[in-house]
Amino acid sequence: MFLIVPLGNPGEEYKKTRHNAGRIIVDEIVEKSDWDFSKAANAFFYKTKILDKEVQFLKPETFMNASGCAVSYIFKKKNIKSGELIVIHDDIDLPIGEYRVSFNSGSAGHNGIESIINSIDTKEFYRIRIGVSPKDEDGNTRRPTGGEQGDFVLKNFSKVDFEKIVVLKEKVLEEIEKII
């Protein structure tokens, strides 16, 4: 079974923030509002099939920095292998509207990813990294630095930038299918 985890923060105030890029895309893919809740995992989950393979989407209801708690619980309970874990998250090193797929890479300073790596004791899982940084007038990614990063990822997308995230739905689903 594949476990697909979109990272983000719970609550209405974070719903359209850059940090919730993964959750935004998965909400578009799943298109359901009746997710089940696991109190033990402190997460919402939705079971389905993709390409005839069993898949479980898991949205942790912890804040980003504690995402590993829910992932670790389900990882162990369902005996998920590391190659069957797909984490979808924001990446400030990529421009809005772009994404990258990686496997077996470090956290690159992303606290949610660091929490997962520490909780399951491996970095051997797939990541679909969603770009959230604007480009400057020269077309270069304008990455926030130092203390700006925390404030930056907790700000809402503009309407135009939000749409650039939503339209990645099909491409992200194609990447999930390739992994599966």
- Structural domains of the chain in order of their starting residue, each with its CATH number: 2-179 (3.40.50.1470)
Measured between alpha carbons, how far is 150 from 4 in angstroms, rounded to an integer?
25
Amino acid 63 reads: F
Which DSSP category does 154 fall into?
A: T
pLDDT interval class at 141 (50, 70, 90): low
Catalytic residue among 4, 5, 6, 19: 19
Question: What's this model's pTM, rounded to 2 decimal places?
Answer: 0.93
pLDDT interval class at 143 (50, 70, 90): low
Question: What is each CA distance from 134 to 131, 137, 139, in whole angstroms?
Answer: 9, 10, 9
State the Cα angle at 43 between 56 and 171, rounded to 5°: 45
Average pLDDT value for residue range 1-27: 95
Q: For 61-120, write each residue's pLDDT tens digit.
A: 999 999 999 999 998 999 999 899 999 999 988 999 899 999 999 998 899 999 999 999
The pLDDT > 70 percentage for the chain reads 91
> CA nearest 109: which of 91, 88, 84, 133?
91
110 is catalytic: no
